[in-house]
Chain A
């Protein structure tokens, strides 16, 4: 929305994996690589990685800025925009990129940090979450054209994840009060999307290292609301939200004494199925909550 119009359209992106995906959510990476390559994107591997910085923002804002800025510099050297699969990484890199481009004082401070490692932030690239790349750079027309097998018999709920939506003044992508972009991305696959109560509510994943009950309650409430609205699956775009909805679902069922059995798919898996990839290619089997029922529904 706020991107410069003069910017040359390039289909080359540095893939910023982050930490949670290689640690726990490789199905997201496997399926994302399949669909992105299938859509004609050229993926450049991230050189000399370090964490985006978000996990340590609560204990050192300066260290977060330094880590994020270093990643941005590495992509600047490659001359390509960053694509992230994790909204946490995407939100952090986008926010820091914007701050450093607009706020001279912070830029000076951060460049002073970066001098230690012979780097300098120049501000020549953009950082985007995969949802933004799909909606803005690839576009809905191309997306719809790539669909070979519309998932017409499927009805799902979406969970966008906080950091692709908020704070609006730094992210400025979708409407945080009534998010539509993930819904439209889902509709592009032919699937139907249900509305449910408290759709924009956080799943709580980010405080699981401090308190486990609150995130379990928040996610449990969302699962119940999705189920009540008639969803056959929940679609996520964040590895942490996915851990809550998929990996932790059996535990939430045990502690809340409720049965959900609601498969949680990464959006890239849903899109991949519609593009005609088979479930094995998209690592559907890696999901903790059995998704075979919906594979039958869509005829796989």
Chain B
């Protein structure tokens, strides 16, 4: 892995990056994803981070930094980091970016890539599995169904499981889920 990936040497104060051809290609792969097209337009003004509600309450989540790392091709460091999962998708950064970079969507593109590397957080596995089994993102307890009837609400619409299975398969998501089985966080 060391020989193929960007190497970082900690020389005390400064970190020196050695960019490999694979790392140099990363930004082009990322730019192809819908929503991430304007990645290279980011000129590091930091508006996204200054206006980010998550960054105010977390010392590691810095969208500006993540975009720079992506531009530089630090694929492994970005895709395997926990911080990319902290974006709340409030889209404040998208509305405020002077360069029209859809930062929240770049984050989504990075997450989509991270799960291709087997880094799917547990709660997303649970959400996907609930959708596959019931059509709903949460497994709604029997008790609640009964309570609905008692309060006079109509029965909940039933999920069409065969349709969802087919859509997960044709979009490639079924394969992604398979690759993320067990392990990971």
Contacts and interface: CB of A to CB of B under 8 A. Distances in A.
B135 interface: yes
Contacts of B154: 45
A51 B123 contact: no
A22 interface: yes
B46 to A, nearest CB: 18
A49 B140 contact: no
Contact of A26 (B95, B138, B151): B151
B53 A19 contact: no
Interface in A35-90: 45-51, 55-63, 65-67, 70
B158 A48 contact: yes
B33 to A, nearest CB: 7
A11 interface: no
A207 B127 CA distance: 13
A63 B167 contact: yes
A60 B166 contact: no
Interface string A2-31: 000000000000000101101100100110
A51 to B, nearest CB: 5
Contact of B153 (A29, A50, A114, A218): A29
A162 B108 CA distance: 16
B102 A70 contact: no
Interface in B121-167: 121, 123-124, 127-128, 131, 135-138, 140, 144, 147-148, 151, 153-154, 156-160, 163-164, 166-167
A28 to B, nearest CB: 11
Contact of A30 (B153, B156, B159, B166): B153
Interface in A204-236: 204-207, 209-211, 213-215, 217-218
B148 A22 contact: yes
Given A49-B135, A56-B128, A202-B90, A66 B171 contact: yes
Interface size on A, as a range, is 35 or more
A139 interface: no
A201 interface: yes
A113 B137 CA distance: 21
A26 B147 contact: yes
A214 B135 contact: no
B171 A58 contact: no
B72 interface: no
Interface in B76-90: 85-90
B131 A22 contact: no
A276 interface: no
B49 to A, nearest CB: 15
A58 B86 contact: no
A201 B153 contact: no
Contact of B173 (A46, A60, A207, A210): A60
Given A62-B171, A202-B90, 18 more contacts: A22-B144, A23-B136, A26-B147, A26-B151, A56-B127, A58-B89, A61-B34, A61-B35, A62-B172, A70-B163, A113-B171, A162-B88, A166-B94, A209-B121, A210-B85, A210-B86, A210-B123, A211-B86
Interface of A: 17, 19-20, 22-23, 26, 29-30, 33, 45-51, 55-63, 65-67, 70, 106, 112-114, 116-117, 162-163, 166-168, 176-177, 200-202, 204-207, 209-211, 213-215, 217-218, 283
Report the 3 A-B pairs with minimum CB-CB distance, sorted nearest first.
A209-B123, A166-B91, A202-B90
15 contacts: A26-B148, A45-B154, A49-B136, A56-B124, A56-B127, A60-B172, A62-B171, A67-B167, A113-B171, A116-B166, A162-B89, A166-B94, A204-B88, A210-B85, A215-B88
Interface of B: 33-35, 53-54, 56-58, 85-92, 94-95, 102, 104, 108-109, 111-112, 115, 120-121, 123-124, 127-128, 131, 135-138, 140, 144, 147-148, 151, 153-154, 156-160, 163-164, 166-173, 176
